[in-house]
C-alpha cells in the first residue's frame, strides 16, 4: 500500500517477528502494570482493546467491511479505561464517552477509506469506501449523543454550544460527502473528523471546570 509502505515493517526496517515480539511484550507488560497499579477493571478493558483490535478487527479487514464495527468498539474503549482507572467504575457518563467515540469513527474511517480506496483494493482490504449513508447516519446519531455528557453531569452549560457547533459541522460534512462522494468532500470530512474529537473533549473539560481553571 502506498499509504503505509514507508512504515517500519513494510519498508523492511523491522522484521514481522520482531514487531510481534516487541508488541506482545509491550502490551502484556502494560496490561499487567495497569492491573497491579491501578485496578483489574482498567487492565481487563486494556486487554479487551488489544484482543478486539489484533485478533478480530485486523484479520477481518480482508474479509468483510463490517470489520469496521469491531474496530470502532476497540477504538472507543480507551475512555472507559481512563474513566475506570480514575473512578474505579463505569458510570453512564463513561458510556456516553464510549458512544461518542464509537459513532465518531465511522465518518472518519469511511472518508479515509474513500480517499485510499484504490490502495485498499490492491491490498484486498474491505473498508466501507462507499458508505456515505452510513457515515451520515452515524454523524446524525453523534449529534444527539454529543449532548449526553451535559445531561449526565460530566460537563456544564458552557459545553452545549461547542458541542452543537462541532457536531453540526461534522453532520454537514457527512451530508456533503454522502451527496457528492468526491475527493473534496471526502477530504473535508476527514479533516473535520481530525479536529472534532480533541475540540469536543476540550469543550467537555471547559464546561466541567470552566475556562479559568484550565489556563496556567
* Backbone region of residue 91 per phi and psi (left: phi > 0; alpha: psi in -120 to 50; beta: other values): beta
The Cα-based distances of 162 to 143, 148, 168 in angstroms read 11, 13, 10
Give the whole-number percent of the chain exceeding pLDDT 90: 74
| Top-confidence residue, 64 or 107 | 107
Q: Looking at residue 216, what is its pLDDT?
A: 55
Confidence band (pLDDT; 50, 70, 90) for 123? confident
- DSSP 8-state class, residue 63: T
Tell me which residue has cell 486487554: 47
- pTM for the full model? 0.89
Q: Looking at residue 11, what is its pLDDT?
A: 87
Q: Looking at residue 122, what is its pLDDT?
A: 84
Q: Looking at residue 140, what is its pLDDT?
A: 97
Mean pLDDT of the chain: 91
**How far from the centroid of its chain's Cα atoms is residue 112's Cα?**
13
Closest CA to 99 of 80, 127, 71: 80
Q: What tens digit of pLDDT does each residue of 29-40 get? A: 999 999 999 999
**Alpha carbon distance, N-terminus to C-terminus of the chain:** 44
Q: Looking at residue 212, what is its pLDDT?
A: 59
Q: What tens digit of pLDDT does each residue of 190-209 get? A: 999 999 999 999 999 999 88
Question: d(Cα 207, Cα 210) in Å, to the nearest integer?
Answer: 6
Q: What is the dihedral of CA 63, 123, 196, 43, to 10 degrees?
A: 60
Q: Looking at residue 214, what is its pLDDT?
A: 54
Closest CA to 170 of 148, 146, 152, 196: 196
Q: What tens digit of pLDDT does each residue of 124-154 get? A: 887 776 778 999 999 999 999 999 999 999 9
Question: d(Cα 49, Cα 59) in Å, to the nearest integer?
Answer: 15
Amino acid at each position: 500500500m502506498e499509504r503505509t509502505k514507508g512504515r517500519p515493517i513494510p519498508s523492511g526496517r523491522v522484521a514481522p517477528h520482531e514487531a510481534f515480539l516487541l508488541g506482545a511484550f509491550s502490551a502484556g507488560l502494560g496490561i499487567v502494570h495497569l492491573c497491579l497499579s491501578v485496578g483489574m477493571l482498567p487492565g481487563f478493558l486494556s486487554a479487551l482493546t488489544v484482543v478486539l483490535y489484533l485478533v478480530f478487527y485486523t484479520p477481518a479487514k480482508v474479509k468483510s467491511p463490517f470489520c469496521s464495527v469491531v474496530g470502532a468498539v476497540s477504538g472507543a474503549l480507551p475512555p472507559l479505561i481512563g474513566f475506570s482507572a480514575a473512578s474505579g467504575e463505569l458510570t453512564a457518563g463513561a458510556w456516553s464517552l464510549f458512544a461518542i467515540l464509537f459513532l465518531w469513527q465511522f465518518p472518519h474511517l469511511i472518508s479515509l477509506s474513500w480517499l485510499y480506496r484504490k490502495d485498499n483494493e490492491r491490498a484486498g482490504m474491505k473498508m466501507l469506501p462507499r458508505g456515505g449513508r452510513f457515515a451520515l447516519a452515524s454523524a446524525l446519531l453523534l449529534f444527539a449523543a454529543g449532548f449526553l455528557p451535559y445531561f449526565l453531569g460530566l460537563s456544564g452549560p458552557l459545553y452545549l454550544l461547542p458541542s452543537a457547533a462541532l457536531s453540526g459541522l461534522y453532520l454537514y460534512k457527512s451530508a456533503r460527502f454522502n451527496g457528492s462522494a468526491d475527493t473534496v468532500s471526502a477530504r473535508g470530512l476527514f479533516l473535520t473528523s481530525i479536529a472534532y474529537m480533541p475540540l469536543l473533549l476540550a469543550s467537555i473539560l471547559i464546561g466541567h471546570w470552566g475556562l479559568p481553571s484550565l489556563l496556567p
